[in-house]
Amino acid sequence: MATTANNNPDPIDFLDATVPMRTEAATTVEILCRRLDHHAEPADDRDRHSFLTPMRLNSSSHSSSELKALVDYFTEQTRGNRNSSQAKGLRRHWIYVLLNLSRVSLQHRWLLVSLGRSSYQRDYWLKHYKLSYRHIREIVDYLDASQLIVVRKGAKFSNGASYTRIHPTLALKQHLWLYYLETEQPIEPPYITINKGTDSAKEAIYNLPDDHPELMEMTQINEFLKGHTWACKGPVRLSYNRDVMGGGRLITPYQGLPDRRIRIRINTLIDEQKICEVDFNANHLRLNLAILSGEHAGDSPYEDICDVAGFEHSQRSYVKNFVTRALGSGNNTLLQGSNDSRDKALAACHSLGMTTKMFETIEYASLKRFPKLTLYKGWGLHAQNFEGQILKEVLLEGIKKDIVCLPVHDAVAVQQQHKEWAREIMLETWQKHARGVSTKVKIDYPL
């Protein structure tokens, strides 16, 4: 075995020698995680980027000894002449980075790290998490030199920050898969956040008075959730885009788990019990028709559009992708949609492999089946706002019944024993927000 100058084993040799020996049969989730081994690098676009967040293993983790060994090794390798107090700070950063790399391994994403010194004085979240430029820089340089990460250098942003994208190589990745499922983020404020917007908008969001109704509701939800367990435990936040009129969505780390090609999320547990997801059907399309026109979309709107377009129902995903982009494209004023808005929707569909002919066919079929459907006028952010309010009310109703509900985009995850309660309360709450028009939900189960 090769050794480094300080008589510690080479990083890759060390990792090979510390593969945990499991005597029990692999769980369903472990088997699913291993299927990610040979995926190509993630696409390098905004939808595949994640920022550093503070994480720790939960108290019931089965992997704490393995993680401790990794952190101890890497801290010692990079400690230099730091005293014990400084080494403790470095160790905290190693935990952050390794657990965040575990997260992007499962999510098939890039981890964004700031390598611009000034951003650590300016960026709200870097200051909030007490992250150090020097520690992050040394950790990234070490992992890069050890061939444990792939690095793509970042460019300067308008605020002066420089974000580099990193992703673990297989040598490190295969040791990180399961940590993320056993992590938790501190459930602490802020519970209402804003992604963009003016400085005054950000100032208003992050300094809401304690008696602000939405802040009180989000605090109630998070205080309730503290006493429960689930995979990737973390706060539920109400996240706005640019302002309070610009689409407030409920977000939480749990919803970022893979669940399409590799169904990891649905196979996790809430308080050690199997779950299901109760999902609104064609939600943004139904909200558009119900709220703007008082129209019910029928039992299967995407399949109806397929029929008009002459598509097989197996091509439903094309219709869904078109509707999502066409509803979201626009200036959010609900005035007449522009050609520019349509062109943006077309470009977005092209990026998903849809031809112009398919786009035009689905566009025609959508408006033939639903003549009152409002496309290319920025409805997407309005839909997100309604969706966020509906799901927030469902979570609050769950607290009254001591039922944990976790938001998952346009669905909630609940223990299977509460599926009928969730179905009824979701239908009731949606109808209240949608001018009395009813909707449909479906229930999804694990393998």
DSSP reduced 3-state for 446: coil
Instruction: Give the pLDDT confidence score for residue 156 in this predicted structure.
Output: 56
Question: In angstroms, rounded to a whole number, what is the distance separating the alpha carbons of residues 148 and 142?
Answer: 9
For the chain, domains (ranges, CATH) are 11-184 (no CATH), 192-281+381-444 (3.30.70), 298-369 (no CATH)
User: Which residue shows structure tokens 């291993």?
Assistant: 34
Helix (H) or strand (E) holding 99: helix 84-107
Which DSSP string corresponds to 120-132? Answer: HHH-HHHHHTT--
Instruction: Give the pLDDT confidence score for residue 162 in this predicted structure.
Output: 61
Burial of 177 (0-12, 13-18, 19+ CB in 10 A): buried
Instruction: Give the pLDDT confidence score for residue 23 in this predicted structure.
Output: 45
Q: Could you tell me the pTM of the whole model?
A: 0.85
What 8-state DSSP symbol labels residue 162?
Answer: B
Question: In angstroms, rounded to a whole number, what is the distance separating the alpha carbons of residues 157 and 10?
Answer: 36
DSSP reduced 3-state for 165: strand
Instruction: Give the pLDDT confidence score for residue 336 in this predicted structure.
Output: 47
Instruction: Give the pLDDT confidence score for residue 10 in this predicted structure.
Output: 84
Helix (H) or strand (E) holding 75: helix 64-78
How many C-beta atoms surround the C-beta of residue 183 within 10 A? 26
Q: Which of 429, 336, 347 is nearest to 375 (CA)?
A: 336
Crossing angle of helices 356-369 and 301-309, rounded to 10°: 120
The alpha carbon dihedral of 90, 94, 95, 96 has a sign of positive
Q: Cis ω on the peptide bond leading into residue 190 (within 30° of 0)?
A: yes
How many C-beta atoms surround the C-beta of residue 190 within 10 A? 19
Burial of 18 (0-12, 13-18, 19+ CB in 10 A): middle
Q: Answer whether 289's CB lies under 8 Å from 296's CB.
A: yes
Which CA distances in Å does 38 have to 30, 101, 173, 375? 15, 16, 10, 40
H helical segments located in 132-212: 133-145, 170-173, 199-206
Instruction: Give the pLDDT confidence score for residue 6 in this predicted structure.
Output: 55
How many C-beta atoms surround the C-beta of residue 263 within 10 A? 16
Six-digit token pair at 96? 């952050």
Question: Tens-digit pLDDT profile for the chain (447 aa)?
Answer: 444 545 567 888 887 776 554 445 567 777 776 776 667 788 888 888 899 888 888 877 778 888 999 999 999 999 999 999 999 999 999 999 999 999 998 888 999 998 888 888 888 888 888 899 999 999 999 999 999 999 998 765 544 456 899 999 988 988 887 788 889 999 999 999 887 766 777 777 778 888 999 999 999 999 999 999 999 999 999 998 766 655 689 999 999 888 887 888 999 999 999 999 999 999 999 999 999 999 999 999 999 999 999 999 999 999 999 999 999 887 655 444 567 899 999 999 999 999 999 999 999 999 999 999 999 998 888 898 899 999 999 999 999 999 999 999 999 999 999 999 999 999 999 999 999 999 999 999 997
Pairing of strands 56-57, 149-152: unpaired
How many C-beta atoms surround the C-beta of residue 66 within 10 A? 17
DSSP reduced 3-state for 168: strand
For residue 66, what are the contacts with CB-CB under 8 A and spacing of at least 6?
A: 18, 20, 175
